[in-house]
Structure 1
Amino acid sequence: MIKEQIMITALDLFAQYGIKSVSMDDIAHNVGISKRTIYEFFEDKETLLQEGMIFDYTKMKSVLEGLEKGPYTVVDIIVLFYEDYMKRPRWYNRKFYDDLKRYPKALEHTETSKAEFSKKCMKLFGRGVKEGVFQNGVNFEIVALLAKEQIKMVRPSGTFFNHSISEVFETVLFTFLRGICTEKGLAILDRYAFKHSHKMI
């Protein structure tokens, strides 16, 4: 449990301030333990970063796989996955990605995870077509790239200072899905949109 808390806290700090700017002392202070305790679990900062990212990705992957096995359409899966993620969102700043280049092992894992997640998305899109919730004939490779760029755009910036990040992310997600849904898919999506609109009131 302590190891998990160390990884979660470290990733939160890295996301906010960048990797280089955060010391092991900073992490220890925020967890409420000694720096020596951190070194009982992790050899150095790169090991902590790498294991933390593996832990984070494995957790997300587990949630998605659990939803895939449930009685859901792909539209349900995407929205429910979004809802689970937004229980504890983490927005990595540009400095984090710049610093990540200094840690080759962690960077390699990140690239591998991105490629694996992209393949997972393509399979979900294909499944959505078979279920009749997504339109046939759509170039989903382009759709996946657009989604990736939209996520980058959503990262906190002055552009959206009048709106919460969750409100912006939700608007982008639902607009994006509406563009590829069939009537059947839209009927499912509208149920979630109605629920979310009432949460904001």
Structure 2
Amino acid sequence: MREKILLGASDLFLNYGFKSVTMDDIANSLGISKKTIYQHFDNKTKLVEATSMYLFELISEGINQICALEKNPIEEIYSIKQFIMEHLKDEKSSPQYQLQKYYPNIFSTLKDKQFKVMQTCVIDNLNRGIEQELYRKSINVDFISRIYFSLMLAIKDKALFPSRQFSMKMLMSNYLEYHLRGICTPKGLETLNKFITSNQT
């Protein structure tokens, strides 16, 4: 039952936001009583925390599986983007922004966990890109990996990028191209341009 509640809550939170979804909404959606939810989670904050960590583990596992395939590093970045967008419902409800605003302690814990996973994945991607001569040898891998993570958080800031002007899909696509054009060699740019062209047609 706990797993069922987490799945149902995740779906509602991602579609409508952590703030607006009530315990009643979750109970009604799952066809169970609110009392059943409270048997597993003491309050909404505990449920939000458990749901956030559940989604984090799910996405981390998916990213690890994509990284294990050792694809072309440029293609790998786009595969991870696609996977995350699908699992976060294109971030319609701005989950990160709402967590940061209404549940800052949960957001802070989650951010630390995300940083560790992203660091491992991004550093590996950068090193393989350098080895394959797709990324410039002169880049500072540690610096780029941290900038990558920082800007990934920044584009989800609704004060900076209001959703009425910028869709998450548009932000992610533009950001990844911006990131890659800054670190690619001529060979890498050729690969990137081919990839973008083939995915537009």
TM bin (shorter chain): 0.7 to 0.9
Return the alpha-carbon distance in structure 1 between the equivalents of residues 96 and 58 of structure 2. Answer: 21
What secondary structure sits across from 2:90 in the alignment?
coil
Return the alpha-carbon distance in structure 2 between the equivalents of residues 48 and 77 of structure 1. Answer: 33
Partner of 1:140: 141
Partner of 2:152: 151
Name the TM-score, length of structure 1 as normaliser: 0.77
Partners of 2:63 and 2:80 within 8 A in 1: yes
1:86-111 superposed Cα distances (whole Å, 9 cap, x missing partner) = 222223354421322355xx743442
Give the superposed CA RMSD.
Answer: 2.9
Letter of the structure 1 residue corresponding to residue 7 of structure 2: Q
Partners of 1:24 and 1:35 within 8 A in 2: yes
Aligned length: 193
Structure 1: runs of 5+ lacking an equivalent: none
Partner of 1:116: 117
1:99-147 superposed Cα distances (whole Å, 9 cap, x missing partner) = 22355xx743442332332233223212221222211111233323332
Map of 1:164-175 to 2, 5 A cutoff? 164-175=167-178
Relative to structure 1, is the Cα distance of residues 162 and 46 closer, same or farther in structure 2, using a 3 angstrom cutoff? closer
Letter of the structure 2 residue corresponding to residue 128 of structure 1: G
* Residue number among 163, 172, 183 corresponding to 2:186 in the alignment: 183
Relative to structure 1, is the Cα distance of residues 7 and 118 closer, same or farther in structure 2, using a 3 angstrom cutoff? farther
Return the alpha-carbon distance in structure 1 between the equivalents of residues 105 and 151 of structure 2. Answer: 26
What secondary structure sits across from 1:86 in the alignment?
helix
Deviation >6 Å, runs of 4+: none
Return the alpha-carbon distance in structure 1 between the equivalents of residues 67 and 96 of structure 2. Answer: 30
Mean Cα deviation higher: 174-183 or 1-10: 1-10
